[in-house]
Chain A
Amino acid sequence: MSWTNISVMCFLASYLVACGLEFSRLRKESAITRAFLLTFGFAGLIAHTVYLFVRSSHSDLPPLLSSSHDWLLVLAWLGVVVYLFLTTVDRKLAIGLFLLPVILLLIAGSYFVSDAPIELIQTDSQNARAVSRNVGMLHAGLLVLGATGVLAGLVLSLMYLVQHRRLKHKSTLQKGLRLPSLAKLARLNWWAVVISVPMLTLGMASGVWLGFQTKKSDTPISFADPVIVVYGIVWLALVVFLTRLLRTRKTDGKRVAWWTVLAFGFMLITILGLQIMAGGSSLESWHDSQVFFLPTERLV
């Protein structure tokens, strides 16, 4: 089988099986289930990596820059790496129950998002190309790292709420649902929020800078672009959330967890929804892989 024949379906199916096996551990834990689970997880990761690599080679762009489809898959890829690492290190930790469904959602979402390669900047100048590529890379990279933090915060908060509920209801530890302590989950969640919001802010700032660079080009990016506007609003909401979080006492773990689930859940759904709408041409947006041009002198 040629590497180019690998499709999203290949790794989506692998992760789906791994997810099913994760849920089956709630009923019965066994070394065989775990071995199968890891096998499907790693098989999916290999297919996932090859798929991104092949697409990147075809578009001659890093996966982060090539399309919204690839950007979402990179985000999912990072989630899978974290999941497999933690599951390999700690055989009882129930991270997959929380993380895999979100990963599956991202991969399924990538189906409906534009996969046409983005030609970021077309210009005759090699230097201008290099600069635009680097800034674009910085923009997409910071956003994907910020989004990974968002993903982590969401998953950690869900785990916190489940653990808190168990402790308040005085339920015994359930098979296959071993979670870290509330204190640890709250601490990790706090860091996820504190790291992801500045990342997203810097990602937004680099995007704005890139937008300004196109002002005098033939196809300038409009800041009224619906995707940019909604992203701006979401970012603002997250900044407000971060400010509240920093002012909240650390002991208010449950409230912080709820805020995180709501804020980060809303953000992920918004990102996914917007990308899908842009990909389906319901929205007119540059993020729907439109080519734009930049005057050479502004970049060199």
Chain B
Amino acid sequence: MNLQVVYCNHHTADLNVREKLAFSSEDQLTRAYDQLRTSFPNSEMVVISTCNRIELYTAQQDSEQAPTHQDLAQFFSDFHKLPVADFFEDFLERTGPDAVRHLFQVASSLDSMVLGEPQIVNQVKEAYEIAQKNEACGPLTNAMFQGAIQVSKRVRTDTRLAEGRISIASVAVGDFGKSIFERFSDKTVLIIGAGEMAEETLIYLKEEGVKRIIVVNRHIERAEHLAEKLSGEAFPFEQLNDWMAEADVIVSTTGANRPIVDVERFRAVREKSGKKPVFILDLGAPRDFETAIGDLDDNIFLYDIDDLESTCERNRKARHKEVDKALLIIDEATDNFMQGVYHQATGPIIKRLREQWHELSEQEMQRLFAKLEHLEPNDLQTIEKSIQQIVNKLLHPPLEALREEAREGTPHGLLDALKRLFHLRDS
């Protein structure tokens, strides 16, 4: 029995290597499974392909039929038309319990770029479903992936690995914005500038239901471009004060080298807007809003990068503290899984040995009872019971030794010895 994973991920390879090895669509994955089935007909396969990792899990009942690291690298090379030498150094392999532990760590987000991020388990589930759809899975990969999903759930509930937001945008919206407003669907969001952070923040705001997005930029064409991308409306920079008065959420990410909104300017805006709550995310560095603006009235909630980053950092540290706890859970789950696999490997031999010995004892008893016709049924029963007990007692030491060995791994040596000593056939 063999379990194996070959992979390259954000720890091992640059994005330019990963993007060359990735499977960008389900169609491409389907073609990959077709080729894999042809090349390795006795293997079970699951491919996980995300922007941060490309992993190929394989499993075989017979270790001798397992593809080698080189074989699998060759498959990637042929499929992506890429020389093996271009990626082999970044293309790692793990086998047996290490492969299982790796999958459990990936699914539990211990191996993710953002520790504890929740998307990876869905990506693992999705990869497993696609493999099932392509009939690439088998009993071993089924057990492995179902186990991985369960372990990930346990890690999430038993540790705080997934608690606390750790990106600036998610902290801004989740920890602060949602504590100010009850809903965002009726709110107007004003984007000043065209920084990437604004786009990321808008993803979270849109998830909360934001519909009206206004983009203001010194260059109207840039504003129009971003507005089109975000399904918003673009306006010239001269209208900034009007839109600040109208907005409930202001996200500012200009590249200005000094604040574009000072206290006096914002005081004038508040006179126009009244004292409605306004949530300002100043994501510019240097800052776009003077910090004293936050003290103008009780309903101005102004946050800059440092305010948000300190929360992210605190949450990141809290997550890292949970890693050891999560690893213990994963180690325990890996041991349990491997014990199950090893027992599965020894199961048929144990069954055959038992059957063979009991069959022999049965035959001998029939012969004996034919000679002892004068005995009462009760006596025959007693003899039968004794013989069964002798057989069981004789079987106990070798089977116990087999079980003991199976805790550490598939006991190939012992299994071979038993087969040869007792003439057990492979069925």
Q: State which residues 150-195 of B face A: CB under 8 Å.
A: 164, 171, 175-176, 178-183
B235 CB-CB contact with A under 8 Å: no
Residue of A nearest to B177 (CB): A181
A210-260: which have CB < 8 Å to B? 249, 251-255
Contacting chain B: which of A75-83, A165-173, A266-274? A165-173
| Interface residue from A164, A172, A249, A253 paired with B175 (Cβ < 8 Å) | A172
Query: Are B175 and A173 neighbours in the complex by a CB distance under 8 Å?
Result: yes
On whether the beta carbons of B176 and A249 are closer than 8 Å, the reply is: no
Task: Determine the distance from Cα of A7 to Cα of B315 in the docked complex, in whole angstroms.
Answer: 46
Which A-chain residue is minimally distant from B306 (CB atoms)? A170
Provide the bound-state CA to CA distance between A164 and B301, in Å. Answer: 9
Q: How large is the interface on B (under 10, 10 to 19, 20 to 34, 35 or more residues)?
A: 20 to 34
Residues of B within 8 A of A184 (CB): 182
List chain B residues, Cβ under 8 A from A252: 275
CB-based contact B298/A181 at 8 Å = no
Q: Is B277 an interface residue (CB 8 A)?
A: yes
Report yes or no: B182 in contact with A253, Cβ–Cβ below 8 A: no
Tell me the complex Cα distance, A64–B317, Å: 53
| A interface bracket (residues with beta carbon within 8 Å of B) | 20 to 34
Chain B residues near A255 (CB-CB < 8 A): 298
The secondary structure that dominates the A interface is helix
Do A181 and B315 touch across chains, with their CB atoms under 8 A apart? no
Tell me how far the C-beta of B301 lies from the nearest C-beta in chain A, rounded to whole angstroms.
5
Which residues of chain A are within 8 angstroms of B299 by Cβ–Cβ distance? Answer: 251, 253-254
Is A183 among interface residues, defined by CB-CB distance under 8 A? yes
Task: Say whether A163 faces chain B, with CB atoms less than 8 Å apart.
Answer: yes
Shortest C-beta distance, A245 to chain B (Å), equals 16
Given contacts A183-B181, A184-B182, A252-B275, 20 further A-B contacts (CB under 8 A): A167-B301, A168-B301, A170-B307, A172-B175, A172-B315, A173-B164, A173-B179, A179-B179, A180-B182, A181-B178, A181-B181, A182-B179, A182-B181, A182-B277, A183-B182, A183-B183, A249-B274, A251-B276, A253-B277, A254-B298
Interface status of A298 (Cβ within 8 A of chain B): no
**Is the beta-carbon distance between A183 and B274 smaller than 8 angstroms?**
no
Taking Cβ atoms with an 8 Å cutoff, the residues of B that contact A are 164, 171, 175-176, 178-183, 274-277, 294, 298-299, 301, 303, 307, 310-311, 314-315
A91 at the interface (CB under 8 A from B): no
Residue pairs across A and B with Cβ atoms less than 8 A apart, 16 shown, are A167-B176, A167-B179, A167-B301, A168-B298, A170-B176, A172-B310, A172-B314, A172-B315, A173-B164, A181-B181, A181-B182, A183-B277, A251-B275, A251-B299, A253-B277, A254-B298
Q: For the complex, what is the distance from the CA of A253 to the CA of B175, rounded to whole Å?
A: 20
CA distance A164 to B277 in the complex (A): 11
**Which A residues from 33 to 65 make CB contacts under 8 A with B?**
none
Q: State whether B175 touches A181 (Cβ < 8 A).
A: no
State how many angstroms separate the Cβ of B320 from the closest Cβ of chain A: 16
**Alpha-carbon separation in the docked complex, A181 to B176 (Å):** 9
Shortest Cβ distance from residue A170 to the other chain B in the assembled complex, whole angstroms: 4
CB distance from B307 to the nearest CB of A (A): 4
CA distance A163 to B171 in the complex (A): 16
B contact residues around A163 at 8 Å (CB): 179
Closest 6 CB pairs of A and B: A183-B182, A172-B311, A170-B307, A254-B298, A184-B182, A251-B276
A175 CB, nearest partner CB in chain B, Å: 9
| Contact residues in A for B301 (Cβ distance below 8 Å) | 167-168
Give the residues in chain A near B310, CB-CB below 8 Å: 172
